[in-house]
Structure 1
C-alpha cells in the first residue's frame, strides 16, 4: 500500500505539469482550431529566457515573470509573423509549418546556449513532506498544483464569463460571422497564441528544473505527454486538459513503478489511440462545432 500511495502522489505531481502544457494546447485549439506542434519548442525558448534572467538577477520569481512575458511575446509574434500567412483551409500546411518552427527554434537555442544541460533551481524544497512513515507531496509539488489550478480556473472563467473569451471562441468557430458582429478576428487569434505561449512558458519552467535542466530538447517528451492529455480530456475543455494531464501522470507512474519504464511510451500511445477510436472529441468535450 505504501508503494501505491507513493506512486499515486508522484504521478499526480508529474501530471500537474502535463496538465499545464495541455492547457496551452487547448488555448490554441479554442482560438485557432489547430494543434500547435511547436508549443514545446516555444516553451523551451521561454525557459532559456528565465534561465538567463534568473542568473542575471539571482531571483527565481523575476525569472518566472520573464518566462511568462517571453512566452506571451513568442506566441504573439509566431502568429503575426508566421502562422498568419498559412492558408487556414489547408490544415496540413499549419502542421508542417509548426514542425518547421520546432527545428528552427531548437537550432537557434543550440547555437546561442549550446547543447549541454544547464541546471536550474526551484523556489521550494523538493523533499517530500511526511506523515508518520508515509512520504507525501513536497512543497514544490504543492506550488505546482496551486499554479496549475489557478491557471485552469482563470482560463475557464475567461472563456465562459468574459467578452474577450467569447470573442476568441467566436473568432475560431465562425470567423466570418464574428467579423459581421464587430469582432476583430485577427486580434483574437494573436491573443490566443500569446496566451498559449505564456501558459506554455510557465509550464516549462515548472518541469524543466526538476529534470536535468534547460536544453533545446528538454520539453520534447513533455509535449508528447501533454498532447495525449489534451486529446484524452478534450481539446476544447480546460477541465479536461487538467484531468487528462493528471491521468497521464498516474498512468506513467503506475506503469514505471509496477512494470518497466520502457513500457510507458507504449501504454500512453495505446491510451491515445483508444480515446481517438472510442471518443475522438475527448472525454470531457461537450460542445461541437456546427456543420453548415
Structure 2
C-alpha cells in the first residue's frame, strides 16, 4: 500500500502543476481557463519535437517552458484581451481551436515520449522535485519581484491598478504566460506516462480542476495539496476498490468541496 501511495504522489505532481496554472490565470484575471490542458498538450509536442531533433530532455524542458510562456501571453493578447463577460466561453473556444490545430499539425497518431526518470523511487521523487522547484520559482517571482508586485496589485483591484498607471492588459498577458509555462511542466511530465496525442490532457484537466477547487482557485499551496491528494486517492481507489472508480474521484471532489465551503459559509453567517 505504501508503494501505491508514493505512486499516487507521482501522478498527483502532474495534476498539481496544471492546477497551479489554473490558479494563476484565475487569480490574476478572474477566469477559469478550460484551454489550459490543451496549451500543456501543445507544449508536450514542442518538447517532443526538440528531443526528436537531438536535444536532451533537460535542455528541451526549459526551452519548452519559454515557448509556452510566449504562447500563453500571445493567446491572452490575441484571443482573451477583448473577451469581457464571454471570457469563460472564449476559453472553451480556445480549447477546441488548439485541439484541432494540434491534430492538424501532428495528426492523431500515438507517439511515445522519453522518460527522464527511471523506475523506482526516482520515478516518484523526480516529478515531485520538478513541481516543488516550479512552486518555489513562482513564489520568488510573485512575492519578490517588481513583476510579481504588479501581478498582485492587479489581482487585488484591477480598476485601482489601472488608475495608478499599471498596464493591466500587459499584466494579464504576463499572468497567462506564467500559467502556460507552469502548465507546460504538467504536459511534459505526463507525456512519458501516456501516449502523446491531442487528447492526452483531457483526464488530467478534470483532476487539475478538482485540485484547484480544493484551494478555491486562489491558493497555489492548496492546489498543490489537492493535486497530490487526488493522485493518491485515484491510485488507491483504482488499485483496491474498482479500476474505473479512479475516474470518479476528481468529479466527486468537485462536487463535495463547493458543498463543504457553502455549508461552512452558511454556518459563519448564522
- Normalising to structure 1: TM-score of the pair? 0.86
Q: Which residue of 1 aligns with 2:153?
A: 170
Instruction: State the SS of the aligned residue for 2:53.
Output: helix
CA distance in 1, matches of 2:250, 2:243: 11
CA distance in 2, matches of 1:281, 1:67: 42
Deviation at 1:192, TM superposition (A): 0.2
Structure 2: gaps of 5 or more residues: 265-270
Q: Of the candidates 249, 262, 269, which is equivalent to residue 267 of structure 1?
A: 249
Q: Which residue of 1 aligns with 2:162?
A: 179
Deviation at 1:159, TM superposition (A): 2.6
Deviation at 1:281, TM superposition (A): 12
Q: Which residue of 2 aligns with 1:56?
A: 53
Q: Which residue of 2 aligns with 1:83?
A: 80
Q: Of the candidates 196, 204, 211, which is equivalent to residue 222 of structure 1?
A: 204
Q: Which residue of 2 aligns with 1:248?
A: 230
Deviation at 1:85, TM superposition (A): 1.4
Deviation at 1:170, TM superposition (A): 1.9
Deviation at 1:124, TM superposition (A): 2.8
Q: Give the ranges of 4+ consecutive aligned residues of structure 1 lying more than 4 Å apart after TM superposition.
A: none
CA offsets per residue over residues 168-207 of structure 1, 9 Å max, x none? 1221331110122232211111100001111111111011
8 Å Cα contact 1:234/1:281 also seen in 2 = no
Q: Of the candidates 102, 117, 127, which is equivalent to residue 110 of structure 2?
A: 117
Q: Of the candidates 39, 44, 50, which is equivalent to residue 41 of structure 2?
A: 44
Instruction: State the SS of the aligned residue for 1:210.
Output: coil
8 Å Cα contact 1:235/1:281 also seen in 2 = no
- The aligned runs of 1:1-292 (5 Å cut-off) are 4-87=1-84, 90=85, 93-125=86-118, 127-128=119-120, 137=121, 139-212=122-195, 214-279=196-261
Cα RMSD of the aligned pairs, angstroms, is 1.7
Taking a change above 3 Å as real, the CA distance of residues 68 and 281 of structure 1, as seen in their structure-2 partners, is: farther
Structure 1: gaps of 5 or more residues: 129-136, 283-292
CA distance in 2, matches of 1:18, 1:217: 16
> After the TM superposition, which of the residue ranges 194-203 and 173-182 deviates more from structure 2?
173-182
- Normalising to structure 2: TM-score of the pair? 0.93
CA distance in 1, matches of 2:138, 2:8: 24
Deviation at 1:237, TM superposition (A): 1.0
CA distance in 2, matches of 1:58, 1:86: 38
CA distance in 2, matches of 1:146, 1:223: 21
Deviation at 1:83, TM superposition (A): 0.1
Q: How many residues align?
A: 264
Q: Which residue of 1 aligns with 2:268?
A: none
> After the TM superposition, which of the residue ranges 256-265 and 193-202 deviates more from structure 2?
256-265
Q: Which residue of 1 aligns with 2:267?
A: none
Deviation at 1:280, TM superposition (A): 5.8
Taking a change above 3 Å as real, the CA distance of residues 177 and 70 of structure 1, as seen in their structure-2 partners, is: same
